[in-house]
Structure 1
């Protein structure tokens, strides 16, 4: 049996090597294809947030029921992400990427044709299954294509959609839903995803890693199920449910138990499971993953809290608030043009991340001290600086994650980092929602003070700087 596997692996490596030269000639094209796929997936998430009110009206449902359209998507993503590394090695990262896009395409079409809130929630889960692996896969593919020499530039292009989509989403979503219907929030994806699938087949060569054996189903159930359960509990808490209530306590406890079981199994196993915990022995990987998790506290405040500030305190509509956020998008775009080249040449991720966090902190401080929610030059300058800071604080982490790891560890390292990102996003979202509930929405008339929430976001940014101090300040080791 082992000889058969070895023979098969050898046969599969030959075409991969033959396909390598075209990839080396067009790394930018590869990056753009991957960025477009990630962009449409993230854009869909932000547009659906704008469409939530339309769901309640069309299906004659309460907001709590309609929010399951987002929760189902998030839970489906969380449950499958831990299998990303195995799938990339077993079938090839590009083949898995294309399959994920196809499932996301199917889910988008089905969501656009939904006839009831229940069917919409189910189809959103299909979308979530498709989107689950896209973000970690694009990083795996970039490492395969770019190597260490051009990784910074390409990873920066990967970071761009993650930072720009939340800015464009509310504007585009509000326009589409207002002029057409909520169905176009999903159907808008279809031609773009089809184009990305065609381009992926054309320009992205599929290469497989070492034969990973069978999927650890027990590990996937404990890690994926545990992660989904914890996220479900925090999602219910973010919606205003009491901390000691069954909808919060039961899934969180169940999730923690499942994750603990996974940890015990992984410690006793002779081979790594769906998440390789031995990676955390590497200081650079641990620092980068810690920053990824903590970023979701401070950076969530920047991306989501600021639009809410202009809407709640400034009386702007979704379109007006989204238009103001373009200033942040312009700052991000400006930084993206420079950051990747700096990472590849200067290669001082620690300084870049710390300076980026400093710019984000300066922007948040400006909003915390603002005595008005009216748009002015100072607030627009703060948004522009935050945009630059977001790029500087996010892009280098995608490179330092693999700083001292061998190429064979890329799929498992990316998977572990993606799990941390999902968990950090869920906890960060909940914390910001609770802060808003305490300082803003609990006030008489709902006109509370955003200042304390911004100060808390500043604390989260400061805490993120601690693991950033452990990032490398020199060139990456060559694979």
Structure 2
């Protein structure tokens, strides 16, 4: 049965070809609605990170216990991502998108009303279930609505939430918690998500496949369960648990076993499993997915390390660090205005990504070499360049993923890429946390000590350039 999810999900975009070509105005409107939905989910994650110490005081628990509010969210999110393709096929991508937003909205309301840490953890899991499919679904919808001709501009807009939410989250979260309470970290979502639900129902057409197939529970359990177990192990490692401790080894081993079982089962079947491994025969897809996986390491080096650098080494508060990071947001905004149209005008995706990685690397190198966390023109210019580089490196990859794949493979490709992104995010977070523990937290947290971590982030950016060399140099080969 697991083989049927991917097989049928790859057909979920077939009927999208019959949709009328959208105008520029309608495409931009749809892209903004999708970006806003993704943005609020990512913003919620960063704000909850700021609220963690408030949880410890209000519920009178340890920080380790409070962190389960984040862990439950990640585990719930990871467990159902592999079912995205089937759900889009069975119910339609837009209907599934609205349903996911509704579950996320319910989880937000419940979290804001939580009366104990246990209830908060439970409701965060509900939130995670709602957020799980949002990011792959918005990309499936973009391909359905925009087609290949306008995909670059719309995908570039889709990259904005990923780049801006970590910058704005600490500032907004710190303000809300300071002026009101931690409950507003969740209540803030309510009006925004309600607006996105209404706008999605009005503006985004729904398209579903002709043969949804049967839901494959065993396939979802092996892939989704394996992914969630592995992420639990990496999360425990990031919290400081010994690499040889049972909370790390057992989940990672269980996750690896479940993923192997899924892979063996899929290999013995004549049809693809929940994740269609045959997609990796396509060079553009493999290169794009590899970049997605590796880019998480460098991405965390930019959006996590830099604000932390100004806070710990420079003595800035969340508001001050957030204001400084606006320089990076400005660079991203400039890139968004230009990159999408460049991608759509038959540009060279390989060159764009490599130039983007070069700009990100130059910015990280500047921070690695600095001996002071005082704000100056050079650091602000580096942040601006990083903002441009992040958009250049991210947006083309979201398009080249589908470069030589037929439209009927869009859902399967998006689901496989989302699984890779989720795993890469967990490993990237863990690696950065371990590097910070080794170089910064065990010492004094000076600018020089941060420099060592920035050098490692630069290494990850350089590694990301390797699969980028295998990206296509021309436009999409498939209609």
TM class, shorter-length? over 0.9
1:446 is displaced (CA, Å) by: 8.4
What is the root-mean-square deviation of aligned Cα atoms in Å? 1.8
Corresponding position of 1:313:
313
CA distance in 2: counterparts of 1:209 and 1:19, whole angstroms: 13
Matched, 1:92 2:99: no
Shift of 1:444: 5.6
CA distance change for structure 1 residues 308 and 24 in 2, over 3 Å: closer, same or farther?
Answer: closer
Q: What corresponds to 2:205 in structure 1? A: 205
1:125-140 pair list within 5 angstroms: 125-140=125-140
Question: 5 Å matches for 1:165-176?
Answer: 165-176=165-176
1:366-396 alpha-carbon deviations (Å, 9 max, x no partner): 0000010111111111111000000000000
Unaligned stretches of 5+ in structure 1? Answer: 1-11
Deviates more, 1:312-321 or 1:125-134: 312-321
C-alpha distance in structure 2 between counterparts of 1:191 and 1:114, whole Å: 19
Q: Quick one: distance in 2 between partners of 1:444 and 1:461?
A: 26
- Residue 166 of structure 1 deviates from its aligned partner by 1.0
Alignment of 1:415-430 (within 5 A): 415-430=415-430
Q: 2:309·2:447 contact (CA, 8 Å) conserved in 1?
A: no
- Runs of 4+ deviating beyond 3 Å: 15-25, 444-448
1-structure distance, mates of 2:209, 2:472: 27
Question: How many angstroms does 1:478 deviate by?
Answer: 3.4
CA contact (8 A) 1:216 1:273 kept: no
Which runs of structure 2 are paired with 1:462-473 in the superposition (5 Å)? Answer: 462-473=462-473
CA–CA separation in structure 1 for the residues paired with 2:309 and 2:443: 15
Aligned partner of 1:243 in structure 2 is 243
Is the contact made by 2:370 and 2:447 (CA closer than 8 Å) also made in structure 1?
Answer: no
**Partner Cα separation in structure 2 for residue 291 and residue 449 of structure 1:** 28
Question: Per the alignment, do residues 368 and 445 of structure 1 end up closer, same or farther by CA in structure 2, a change over 3 Å counting?
Answer: closer
1:24: Cα distance to partner?
7.8
Q: Aligned residue for 1:43?
A: 43
**TM-score, length-scaled by structure 1:** 0.95
For residues 431 and 25 of structure 1, do their structure 2 counterparts lie closer, same or farther at Cα, with a shift above 3 Å needed?
closer
CA distance in 1 between counterparts of 2:212 and 2:111 reads 34
CA contact (8 A) 1:104 1:126 kept: yes
CA shift digits 1:394-439 (9 cap, x unpaired)? 0001100000000000001000000000000000100010001001
Relative to structure 1, the CA distance from residue 344 to residue 80 in structure 2 (aligned partners, 3 Å threshold; closer, same or farther) is same
Aligned to 1:392: 392
Deviation at 1:299, TM superposition (A): 1.0
Give the Cα–Cα distance (whole angstroms) in 1 for the partners of residues 143 and 32 of structure 2.
14
1:168-317 matches, within 5 Å, as 168-317=168-317
Higher RCO by CA contacts (8 Å cutoff, separation 6 or greater): 2
1:432 partnered with 2:436: no
User: SS where residue 304 of structure 2 aligns?
Assistant: helix
Contact 1:16 1:206 in 2 (8 A): no
Residue 5 of structure 1 corresponds to none
Could you tell me how far 1:475 is from its partner in structure 2?
1.5
Quote the offset at 1:448 in angstroms.
7.2
Aligned length: 468
**Equivalent residue for 1:74?**
74
The 1:309–1:264 alpha-carbon spacing in structure 2 relative to 1, beyond 3 Å, is same
Secondary structure in structure 1 of the residue aligned to 2:476: coil
1:66-104 Cα shifts (integer Å, max 9, x gaps)? 111111000001001000011111110001000000000
Residue of structure 1 in register with 2:56 after alignment: 56
Q: What's the CA shift for 1:237?
A: 0.3
Matched residue SS, 1:149: coil
Relative to structure 1, the CA distance from residue 150 to residue 18 in structure 2 (aligned partners, 3 Å threshold; closer, same or farther) is closer
Query: Structure 2 stretches of 5 or more lacking a match?
Result: 1-11
- What is the Cα deviation at residue 120 of structure 1? 0.5
Question: 1:231–1:426: 8 Å Cα contact kept in structure 2?
Answer: yes
- Aligned residue in 2 for 1:105: 105
Aligned-partner Cα distance in 2 for 1:108–1:476: 40
Deviation, structure 1 residue 20: 3.9
Residues 27, 146 of structure 1: 8 Å contact kept: yes
Deviation at 1:17, TM superposition (A): 8.8
TM-aligned CA deviation for residue 212 of structure 1: 3.1
The answer to whether 1:362 aligns with 2:358 is no
Shift of 1:262: 0.4
Is 1:340 aligned to 2:361, yes or no? no
How far has the Cα of 1:317 moved from its partner? 1.2
Is residue 2:27 matched to residue 1:27?
yes
- Aligned pair in 2 of structure 1 residues 143, 434: CA closer, same or farther (>3 Å)? same
1:39–1:162 CA contact under 8 A, matched in 2: yes
